[in-house]
Amino acid sequence: MEARNLADFPRPVHHRIPNFKGSYLACQNIKDLAVFARTQEVKVDPDKPLEGVRLLALQSKKTLLVPTPRLRTGLFNKITPPPGATKDILRKCATSQGVRNYSTPVGLDSRVLVDLVVVGSVAVSEKGWRIGKGEGYADLEYAMMVSMGAVSQGTPVVTIVHDCQVVDIPETLLEDHDLTVDYILTPTRVITTGCERPKPTGIVWSKISCEMMGKMPVLRSLRCREEQAGKDVTLRDTHQGLPRARAALSTVRSPRELPSLESGSWQGDDVPSSTVYIGNLPRDARVSELKRALSARGAAPSRLTWQGPQRGAFLHYRDPAEAWQAISRLQGFCLGANTVRVALARHQGASGLAGGRTGEPHPDP
């Protein structure tokens, strides 16, 4: 697209959903779809080439939902133009700046029923098989909507691309969590794919990493709900040992707080800790309840030191590797209505904290 000068602002289009010359014209084709005419609530990704669809949705007085960037602060924002908004204001509302300035968050408990989903693509086939930019956000957003009850297998999915982005895609590239599309709109064509491949039926937790959990609070909340409903919410790196656990913990502590486990790399009075601190426990939490919950997640410690008045506890494991693995397994851990804070405790020597006993664990700041 760059070589043939088909790309449009922002450029270069590498590593993003590419905008292209004629994207606005392609967006206009959605008016010819009966599914758009009867839509009341539409979810449109924030990508630049979809700006025309966001504008049409607002002009048609449909409820417009836009995912939050990288799902960092939630799942959706509802775009709410000011009363009596002019065409110019609606155009601003449809832009990325407008999404920031004219939106209100939509919580997980909101009654959302999406009639139509519009996603961007890097490439798509006439069979409805889609490739994004490789980060999986469109697939995950759809799976999260399924978990919320906001969409069903019958909810149509539309993508808008340049004609050159319609290519043959081997089915071997697709996995069960990949989102397929029902309609492809280009500047010159409206393609009905007739795709019969099932769409995602919910979040596949075994594809979710601890790192993703750390970056997306909404994902942690959904996992907590599904765990309480008795579903298997085991994460991808739960059983993959110490290296993955260390990577996961980088979402809890800053890099400068992560001493290496390599021999001789510990500084000062810190020694490798095999103790994990958990905080933000419910005020009415009981030791027996916590022990049962830890066992259910495969993170039962050798010994537990209860810190009830501080709403926390120290979990003592046999060695640092087991402690790191427990941290991995406890990412997104909920007890009652509380999401529990998890961090490696730090052992201080005699010259450590004033008044602290030698070898006594303390929660990391």
Structure pTM?
0.67
**Confidence (pLDDT) at 237:** 64
The closest alpha carbon to 281, from 270, 296, 291, belongs to 291
> In the predicted model, is pLDDT for residue 79 greater than 80?
yes
Q: Which of 40-49, 325-334, 338-347 has the highest mean pLDDT?
A: 40-49
**Residue 54 pLDDT greater than 70, yes or no:** yes
Residue 339 is predicted with a pLDDT of 86
More confident of the two residues 250 and 77: 77
The stretch 107-127 carries a mean pLDDT of 91
pLDDT interval class at 331 (50, 70, 90) = confident
What's the mean pLDDT in 324-333?
Answer: 82
Q: What pLDDT shows up at residue 153? A: 86
* pLDDT for residue 72: 67
φ, ψ for residue 166 (rounded to 5)? -90, 110
**Residue 80 pLDDT > 70:** yes
The whole-number pLDDT of residue 328 equals 77
What pLDDT does 159 receive? 97
242 CB-side CA count, 13 A = 9
- The topology under which CATH files domain 275-344 is Alpha-Beta Plaits (3.30.70)
Q: Report domain extents, the chain.
A: 2-202, 206-239, 275-344
pLDDT of 144-192, one tens digit each? Answer: 899 888 898 899 999 999 999 999 999 888 888 889 999 999 999 999 9
| pLDDT for the residue 256 | 37
Considering the chain, what percentage of its residues have pLDDT values greater than 70?
Answer: 84
Q: Once rounded to an integer, what is the mean pLDDT over residues 308-326? A: 85
Give residue-wise pLDDT tens across range 232-284: 888 876 545 444 444 444 444 433 333 333 323 333 344 447 899 999 999 88
Asked if domains 2-202 and 275-344 share a fold, the reply is no
**pLDDT surpasses 70 at 352:** no
Q: Is the pLDDT of residue 122 over 80?
A: yes
Residue 212: the pLDDT is: 79
> What value does the mean pLDDT take over residues 25-36?
96
Q: Which of 136-145, 189-198, 308-317, 323-332 has the lowest mean pLDDT?
A: 323-332
Q: Provide mean pLDDT across the span 61-71.
A: 86
258 compared with 38, residue with greater pLDDT: 38
Provide the pLDDT for residue 329.
81
Least confident of 76-90, 192-206, 268-282: 268-282
Residue 344 is predicted with a pLDDT of 84
Q: How confident is the model at residue 115 (pLDDT cuts 50, 70, 90)?
A: very high
- Which tokens is 225 given? 């709900």
pLDDT at 251: 41
| Paired residues of 312 in beta bridges | 307
Q: For residues 320 and 238, which has the higher predicted lDDT (pLDDT)?
A: 320
Q: How does the average pLDDT of the chain come out, rounded?
A: 82
Q: Which architecture, in CATH terms, is 2-202?
A: 3-Layer(aba) Sandwich (3.40)
Residue that wins the pLDDT comparison between 258 and 231: 231
pLDDT for residue 13 is more than 50: yes
